[in-house]
């Protein structure tokens, strides 16, 4: 079995695997090590412990090795597969015979549960084993196709990394089940295609096997969807080519559009590509938080999707109207933010446009990393931009620490990351994203090597004509402006190097062996073409002045407020850094006040904070809905801002990204 040579035939760029791109040092090198040593083992300890999670137990019961009932949500199979994908990625970057043996054993267990027709859903299989009525695809919110999609993706990765066909065979059988549905039961497939991970998955399978039936299956998914009269909840109210704004459930939207972008890379559908670019800009230009958070609303209905109110259905974790971006009640599910990375990286591959890498970086340094503790062992499901004390209503949370009914939510100022959530979709998604984050560092195309993200990479690429370029990145990005690449090996004719000049930057400079190179505009790639020699030194300086940013006039909750960003990192104020007697709502920034970078530690982890003299506003009304403004002089106090991704690591407290501005 060999992979096709025509994969990504219509994409400008191809991602690099672990053999060609690694996070070997620096910021992302540390994250890689933490993911390998802490996060992946910690999630396995939860999934494999019946007292915490039924993730593994469900498969053992389905296989007849244990007795009992299915436990957990219907999408728990998919959560298990996502962890498996993360563990397989660890095998690729850091080979481990013991882990490899465990993964093969798990693969055999999964394959043993699968029906002959390719269907695999442990709730249904366990019910059948227990002689209970069990009907496949009976409820779209059983997430069968979502689970099968993640099974296929894990199966492909297992084959690519280890050569084992155990899980690949299961993946092919699962795709066969989906193909039968598309051919013979299209309505059942369309209705059940909730959170469509299977769009991306079958393209993965096509690329691994070269079997065009999987490419045709991907195209069939669109036809089936377009013939189905659905709603906003799964983006199937309108045919995909008629969609002009992104509406409804944010995770499902981002997964759908990522899968469509994968298809375009194979069939070159320019009309569909234009649709995706329009939809991507709708999100990024009008619905994206400054942290890269996506899906603002706990409950929404894409209110402008239809003029007929009786056709509008409630949608959980939804994209709302343009500029509808609440702070305290921001949902921003971790999976939605990851979905935006998946969508953006595929658009980047298609076009080579640096704007997509800008957004990947925006999400990665902020909302992605905020979703996991600095220790790498606790997780957020939602990622708000403000947390306040004594909120008079509970904010739903999907978690508890064992297989019990979810306890009442704690007071809002005690919302903390948790090691296990009863809705466990986000933690393994975070793990697989970080375990495969080396694939986002750089890409290759006909025009050379493109470096997308900075933070400690080691790159080594060889072209078809025998050219080779190996680079080692040194520096302290994102805390320091200097990024240095040293050529560690080179051969053949020179491979052009393209370095991304971030859209947030201004005044970037570039030298090769001390000689200046003209830098292109922010939000583009600067091309360097020469015959490389071992020892060549490429130095990129990205000045990082502290930026104080305001929001669009229609973003009502940010009126007369500002947010602070330095380089790609967004900052916030936490109550832990406020002087005694000062509460969150009293803190304001004075226009023009200095914000000085200062190294510090949070929970034992080094970060660069920003120190300033903040304005202390008079206290606000505590009981009355409206009250007179206090006649008091404004005071000042020293305040420290910390990276948003590091908030919530020092116990319960208040936090805000947006702060009032005093002129």
Please tell me the distance from the alpha carbon of residue 475 to that of residue 490, in angstroms, as a whole number: 21
| The pLDDT of residue 559 is above 80 | yes
Query: Looking at residues 82-87, what average pLDDT do you find?
Result: 98
If you average pLDDT over every residue of the chain, what do you get?
93
Considering only CA atoms, which of 291, 287, 286, 289 is closest in space to residue 571? 291
- DSSP of 389-421: SS-SSPPP----SSSSPPPPPPPGGG---BS--
Mean pLDDT of 3-31: 88
Average pLDDT, integer, range 40-65: 98
Is residue 75 classed as helix, strand or coil in its secondary structure? Answer: coil
Q: Is the pLDDT of residue 316 over 90?
A: no
Q: Give the three-class secondary structure for 530.
A: coil
* CA gap 118, 155 in Å, rounded: 13
Q: Are 219 and 260 in contact (CB under 8 A)?
A: no
pLDDT at 410: 56
Looking at the predicted structure, is the pLDDT value of residue 620 above 80? no
Number of neighbouring beta carbons within 10 Å of residue 606: 12
pLDDT value at residue 90: 97
Quick one: three-class SS letters along 603-654? CCEEEEEEEEEEEECCCCCCCCCCCCCCCCCCEEEEEEEEEHHHCCCCCCCC
Radius of gyration of the chain, Cα coordinates, nearest whole angstrom? 25
Rounded CA-CA distance 299/294 in Å is 14
Cβ proximity of 568 and 478 under 8 Å: yes
Using the predicted structure, report yes or no on whether residue 398 has a pLDDT greater than 90. no
Query: What pLDDT does 492 receive?
Result: 86
Structure confidence by residue, pLDDT tens digits, 174-216:
999 999 999 999 999 999 999 999 999 999 999 999 999 999 9
Ordered by start, the domain boundaries in the chain are 229-357, 441-541, 546-662
Give the whole-number percent of the chain exceeding pLDDT 70: 94
With the C-alpha atoms ordered 600, 603, 604, 607, is the resulting torsion angle positive or negative? negative
The set of residues, in sequence order, having a beta carbon less than 8 Å from that of 14 and lying 6+ positions away, is 8, 349, 443, 444, 445
So what's the pLDDT on residue 493?
81
pLDDT at 334: 97
Task: Please name the residues in contact with 137: beta carbons below 8 A apart, sequence gap of 6 or more.
Answer: 144, 181, 185, 188, 189, 191, 192
CB atoms within 10 A of CB 454: 24
Query: What is the average pLDDT across 594-621?
Result: 94
Contacts of 290 (CB under 8 A, 6+ apart): 366, 385, 549, 551, 563, 565, 570, 657
Written as six digits, the tokens of 307 are 């003029």
CB-based contact 312:303 (threshold 8 Å): yes
Nearest-5° Cα angle at 492, 490 to 498: 60
* pLDDT score for 310: 61
> How many angstroms separate the first and last alpha carbons of the chain?
67
Average pLDDT over residues 528-550: 97
Position 624 pLDDT exceeds 90: no
Task: Give 464's pLDDT tier (boundaries 50, 70, 90).
Answer: confident
Q: Give the confidence band of 465 by pLDDT, cuts at 50, 70, 90.
A: confident
Cis preceding-peptide flag for 532 (omega within 30 of 0)? no
Using CB atoms within 10 A of its CB, is residue 553 exposed (0-12), middle (13-18) or buried (19+)? exposed
Instruction: Provide mean pLDDT across the span 283-301.
Output: 93
Q: Is 90 exceeded by the pLDDT of residue 34?
A: yes
Indicate the pLDDT class of residue 521, thresholds 50, 70 and 90. very high
For 467, the 3-state DSSP assignment is coil
State the pLDDT at residue 633: 86
pLDDT at 56 over 60: yes
- State the CB neighbour count (10 A cutoff) for residue 299: 13
What span, in angstroms and rounded, lies between the C-alpha atoms of 550 and 578? 23
pLDDT band at residue 4 under the 50/70/90 scheme: very low
Q: Are strands 659-662 and 587-590 parallel, antiparallel or unpaired?
A: parallel
Per-position DSSP letters for 248-260, written without gaps between them: EEHHHHHHHHHHH
Cα separation, 635 vs 614, whole angstroms: 9
Quote the pLDDT of residue 404.
Answer: 41
pLDDT of res. 628: 86
Instruction: Report the distance separating Cα 233 and Cα 299, nearest Å.
Output: 11
* pLDDT of 379 higher than 80: yes
The Cα angle at residue 567 between residues 562 and 570, in degrees rounded to 5: 40
pLDDT at 637 over 70: yes
* CA distance linking residue 121 with residue 148, whole number of Å: 8
Tell me the pLDDT band of 405, cut-offs 50, 70 and 90.
very low
Q: Is the pLDDT score of 409 beyond 90?
A: no
Assign 3-class secondary structure to 416-434.
CCECCCCCCCHHHHHHHHH
**Spatial CA neighbour of 145 closest among 112, 115, 179, 113:** 179
Distance CA 618, CA 632 (A): 7
Residue 403 has pLDDT above 50, yes or no: no
- Predicted TM-score (pTM) of the model is 0.96
Give the residues across from 443 on adjacent strands.
15, 450
Residue 455: closest CA among 33, 36, 38? 33
Per the DSSP assignment, residues forming a β-bridge with 450 are 443, 498
Query: Do the Cβ atoms of 192 and 224 come closer than 8 Å?
Result: no
Contacts of 448 (CB under 8 A, 6+ apart): 495, 496, 497, 498, 527, 529
Is residue 2 pLDDT above 50, yes or no?
Answer: no
| Model confidence band, residue 391 (pLDDT cutoffs 50, 70, 90) | confident
Q: What is the pLDDT of residues 324-352, one digit of tens each?
A: 999 999 999 999 999 999 999 999 999 99
Mean pLDDT of 11-24: 96
Q: Residue 303 has what pLDDT?
A: 52
- In sequence order, the 6+-apart residues with CB closer than 8 A to the CB of 615 are 587, 588, 589, 590, 634, 635, 636, 662
Q: d(Cα 369, Cα 647) in Å, to the nearest integer?
A: 10
Rounded CA-CA distance 273/258 in Å is: 11
């Amino acid at each position: 079995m060999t992979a096709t040579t025509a994969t990504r035939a219509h994409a400008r760029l191809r991602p690099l695997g672990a053999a060609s791109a690694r996070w070997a040092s620096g910021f992302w090198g540390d994250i890689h090590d933490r993911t390998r040593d802490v996060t992946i083992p910690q999630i396995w300890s939860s999934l494999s412990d019946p007292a915490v999670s039924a993730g593994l137990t469900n498969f053992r019961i389905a296989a007849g090795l244990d007795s009992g009932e299915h436990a957990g949500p219907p999408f728990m199979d998919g959560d298990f597969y996502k962890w498996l994908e993360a563990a397989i990625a660890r095998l690729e970057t850091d080979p481990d015979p013991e882990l490899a043996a465990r993964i093969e054993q798990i693969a055999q267990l999964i394959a043993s549960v699968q029906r002959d027709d390719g269907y695999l859903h442990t709730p249904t299989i366990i019910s059948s084993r227990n002689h209970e009525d069990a009907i496949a695809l009976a409820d779209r919110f059983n997430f069968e196709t979502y689970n099968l999609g993640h099974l296929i993706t894990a199966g492909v990765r297992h084959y690519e990394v280890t050569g084992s066909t155990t899980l690949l065979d299961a993946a092919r059988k699962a795709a066969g089940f989906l193909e039968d549905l598309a051919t013979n039961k299209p309505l059942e497939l369309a209705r059940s295609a909730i959170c469509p991970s299977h769009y991306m998955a079958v393209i993965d399978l096509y690329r691994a096997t070269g079997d065009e039936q999987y490419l045709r299956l991907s195209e069939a998914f669109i036809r089936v969807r377009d013939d189905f009269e659905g709603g906003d909840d799964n983006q199937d109210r309108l045919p995909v080519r008629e969609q002009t704004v992104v509406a409804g459930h944010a995770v499902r939207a981002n997964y759908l559009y990522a899968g469509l972008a994968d298809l375009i890379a194979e069939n070159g559908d320019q009309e569909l590509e234009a649709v995706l670019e329009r939809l991507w800009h709708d999100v990024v230009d009008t619905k994206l938080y400054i942290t890269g958070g996506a899906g603002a609303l706990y409950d929404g209905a894409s209110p402008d999707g239809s003029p007929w109110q009786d056709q509008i259905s409630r949608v959980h974790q939804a994209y709302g109207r343009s500029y509808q971006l609440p702070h305290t009640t921001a949902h921003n599910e971790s999976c939605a933010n990851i979905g935006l990375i998946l969508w953006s990286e595929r658009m980047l591959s298609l076009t080579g446009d640096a704007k997509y890498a800008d957004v990947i970086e925006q999400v990665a340094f902020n909302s992605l990393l905020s979703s996991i503790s600095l220790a790498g062992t606790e997780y957020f499901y939602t990622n708000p931009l403000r947390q306040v004390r004594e909120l008079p209503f509970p904010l739903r949370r999907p978690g508890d620490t064992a297989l019990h009914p979810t306890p009442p939510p704690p007071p809002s100022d005690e919302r903390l990351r948790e090691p296990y959530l009863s809705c466990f979709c986000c933690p393994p998604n975070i793990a697989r994203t970080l375990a495969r984050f080396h694939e986002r560092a750089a890409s290759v195309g006909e025009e050379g090597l493109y470096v997308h993200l900075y933070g400690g990479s080691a790159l080594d690429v060889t072209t078809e004509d025998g050219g080779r370029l190996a680079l080692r990145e040194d520096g302290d990005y994102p805390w320091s402006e200097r990024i240095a690449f040293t050529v560690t090996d080179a051969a053949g004719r020179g491979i052009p190097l393209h370095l991304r000049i971030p859209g947030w930057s201004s005044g970037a400079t570039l030298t090769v062996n001390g000689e200046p190179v003209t830098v292109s505009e922010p939000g583009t790639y600067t091309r360097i073409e020469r015959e490389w020699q071992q020892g060549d030194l490429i130095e990129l300086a990205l000045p990082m002045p502290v930026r104080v940013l305001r929001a669009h006039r229609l973003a009502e909750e940010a009126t007369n407020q500002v947010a602070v960003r330095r380089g790609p990192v967004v900052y916030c104020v936490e109550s832990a850094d406020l002087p005694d007697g000062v509460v969150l709502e009293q803190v304001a920034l004075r226009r023009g006040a200095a914000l000085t970078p200062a190294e510090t530690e949070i929970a034992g982890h080094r970060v660069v904070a920003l120190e300033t003299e903040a304005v202390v506003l008079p206290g606000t009304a505590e009981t009355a809905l409206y009250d007179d403004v206090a006649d008091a002089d404004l005071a000042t106090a020293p305040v420290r801002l910390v990276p948003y991704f590091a908030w919530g690591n020092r116990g319960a407290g208040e936090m805000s990204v947006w702060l009032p501005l005093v002129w």
